[in-house]
Amino acid sequence: MYYHDSRLQHPVRVTEPDPAFARSLQQAIGGVEGEIRVCMQYFFQAWNARGPDNRYRDMLLNTATEEISHIEMLATAVALNLEVAPAHLQEEGVKDKLVGAVMGGERPRAAIEGMIHKQMLSAGLGAMPIDSDGVPFDMSHIYASGNLAADMTANVAAESTGRVLAVRLYNQAHDEGMRDMLSFLIARDTMHQNQWLAVIEDLGGFESQFPIPNSFPQASEKGDFSYKYFVTSTDGNYPAGRWSDGPSIDGKGQFEPTRVEPMGDEPVLGPARPDSGAQKEQMAPSAPDGERAPQS
């Protein structure tokens, strides 16, 4: 059950509306690094959570609900930045401004260069569940495996790329209100990166949780290859580092550089089927008396 407060989680102010920046903000809403992605990811991880300890489920639900607030903030920012967008291309010499933008001229204030026209045509100068190119978010980047440790590592990646995007938007922004909002979102990304890593630590740390899933007995995997760094270069050289020599991160083995050699045979497939649309030279010779040739 969820409750709503009509006040924003953090103030959203726009002094100088910028329709082009509204387009950039759409990436933080509906891009693969955006808030819809993490919101839905945390919800489905929570809804799929199993185990005797409901703390992790409730923690995920709290953070997923927070992400709804971030979507609301960004949607408000998009709408405020679009308020000065002309209704058609004849207003305010927009055609000339668009040409100037394409040719690399100075960015005109309150022009619509770079604006997603869907925001005007389909949303009445508002935000949409799309990225900065107008592509709808299709939920294909929601990772909820049912494995708590795997989900936490996926969440670290999601918050890391989200923070990278927010920093890029902060650097792109010229409006102080937008920078203030993004500074808040960057801070929350910092918290959430640490939060998901803290869950792994709470579960017992890397040595307890890795390799994931820790429920599979490592005795059943081909242990000779569990910690070898495969070198695939033709001359045998490799980039040495923490990943190639020394104890493994999970504490269960030793990294070792190994020049990989083929261990299997060259694959040999059977002839093409007569009904496969292949060339007749790819098919087996016909069997006598019109019988179908055997397929290997």
Tell me the pLDDT tens digit for each residue of 159-168: 999 999 999 9
Domain boundaries, the chain: 19-207, 218-259
CA 65 centroid distance within chain? 19
The pLDDT-based confidence of 43 (bands split at 50, 70, 90) is: very high
Q: What is the pLDDT of residue 166?
A: 98
Alpha-carbon span 14 to 79, nearest angstrom: 10
Q: What pLDDT does 93 receive?
A: 44
Let me know: does 92 contact 110? Beta carbons within 8 Å.
Answer: yes
Among the listed residues 43, 80, 74, 78, the one whose alpha carbon sits nearest the alpha carbon of residue 162: 74
- The tens digit of pLDDT for each residue in 137-147 reads 999 999 999 99
Instruction: Tell me the whole-structure pTM to 2 decimals.
Output: 0.84
Contacts for 291 with CB less than 8 Å, ≥ 6 apart:
none
Q: What average pLDDT does range 254-279 have in this prediction?
A: 95
Determine the angle formed by the axes of helices 176-203 and 55-82, rounding to 10 degrees. 170
Q: What residues pair up with 272 in beta bridges, in sequence order?
A: 283
Phi, psi of 228 (to 5 degrees): -90, 130
> Is a pLDDT exceeding 90 seen at residue 21?
yes
Q: Output the average pLDDT for the chain.
A: 89
The percent of residues in the chain predicted with pLDDT above 90, rounded, is 79
| Average pLDDT for 62-81 | 97
Residue 112 pLDDT level (bands cut at 50, 70, 90): low
Closest by Cα among 141, 165, 242, 155 to 197: 155
| Mean local confidence (pLDDT), 73-86 | 90
**To which residue do tokens 């890593």 refer?**
197
Structural contact between residues 257 and 231, judged by C-beta atoms closer than 8 angstroms: yes
How many of the other CB atoms lie within 10 Å of CB of 109? Answer: 11
Q: Is the pLDDT of residue 119 over 90?
A: no
Cβ–Cβ contacts within 10 Å for residue 188, how many? 21
Instruction: Say which CATH topology domain 19-207 has.
Output: Ferritin (1.20.1260)
- Could you tell me how many residues make up the chain? 296
Q: Decide if pLDDT at 282 tops 70.
A: yes
Q: How far apart are CA 296 and CA 291, in angstroms?
A: 15
pLDDT band at 117 (very low <50, low <70, confident <90, very high): confident
pLDDT of 12 > 60? The answer is yes
- pLDDT one-digit tens code per residue, 197-221: 999 999 999 999 999 999 999 999 9
Which position has the higher pLDDT, 128 or 31?
A: 31
